[in-house]
Amino acid sequence: MVVGVFPVVKLGVLFIKQISKPLAQVIVNQAKNHPVFRRYFIIPPAQFYHWAEVKAKMYIMNLGKPTKVAKLNEQMAIELGASLMGEVIIFSLAGGCIVLEYNRQVAKEAKKEELRKMQLQKFTDDIQVLYETTNKQEAQIKYLKSSLEEVAKKTKTKLPEIKEEPSDKSNKEEKSKV
């Protein structure tokens, strides 16, 4: 039975997704009670969202352009801003998880590609070594043939004819083309 590697990264992403809502709720509750956050980070985005929403609805329903959009009261702006802030936190965490997963996949693919290139380079090196070995052996065969011919001349014996195999001829033809 083959057991795969436990996907720790995926489990971590799932964990972050699950705790993002409660985490966002805690942050939002703290921000609602803090006057600086409430004044600068919760109410202005809520007012802008309300203004954009009213303008968009009026445009979509062909009711004309509103001349002035009434601002939300402070309590409604705080609730809407807190909701928006919570959604931004959740979206940011999810986006961060996606970016991390993407980077992990890119690194994994790069590692695969590097392994493939190394394997290809090894094959190329092996072929080059085989080519050099073949050239060296051919030179040795030529030397042995010439030595054998010299010995045959000195002893005045006739050498038997050695027929080359068809594969040797095709190899020589290919090498002569190169």
Nearest to residue 81, comparing CAs of 113, 115, 142, 39?
Answer: 39
- Taking the model in full, what pTM does it have? 0.58
The verdict on residue 90 lying in a domain is yes
Residue 38: is its pLDDT beyond 90?
no
Q: 141: pLDDT confidence band, cut at 50, 70 and 90?
A: very high
**Is residue 155 in a domain?**
no
Residue 33 resides in a domain: yes
Q: What is the pLDDT of residue 2?
A: 45
Q: Which domain holds residue 105?
A: 8-117
Contact 24, 90 (CB under 8 A): yes
Q: Does a structural domain hold residue 94? A: yes
Tokens 């590097």 locate to: 114
H/E stretch holding 20: helix 8-33
pLDDT over 90 for what percent of the chain?
Answer: 31
The residues, any chain, with a CB within 8 Å of residue 171's CB and separated by 6 or more, are 134
Domain contains 133? no
In a domain, 40, yes or no: yes
In a domain, 130, yes or no: no
The number of folded domains in the chain is: 1
